[in-house]
Amino acid sequence: MSLRSWRALIETIGMDQDQLKLDLEYITQTRTLPEGETLQTVLARLDGYAQISGLHHRLEHYLTKRSYAKALIWLDHPDSPHHP
């Protein structure tokens, strides 16, 4: 799936890519968790994203396996090769 298709899918299903990226940054500790936010809430949102039908197969794999660092890299570079 191309980046353009990925963005169109996000718009269609109503997924907030900015929030997904923020959540991945919070969980991988590349961004400080804001006051009032908990890791439990962030994990719940990430688990919810993993259940959205029509996700790119690699993003779905990363989210369901909780490979959040890989998911974050993939969001920035969706054409990058998969590294197990």
In sequence order, which residues have a C-beta less than 8 Å from that of residue 17 and are 6 or more positions away? 7, 10, 75
Q: H helices within 1-84, ranges in order?
A: 3-13, 17-27, 39-50, 57-64, 68-76
| Boundaries of every domain in the chain | 3-76
Between 55 and 21, residue with greater pLDDT:
21
pTM equals: 0.79
- DSSP 3-state of 20: helix
CA gap 83, 20 in Å, rounded: 21
pLDDT at 1: 46
Is pLDDT of 63 > 90? yes
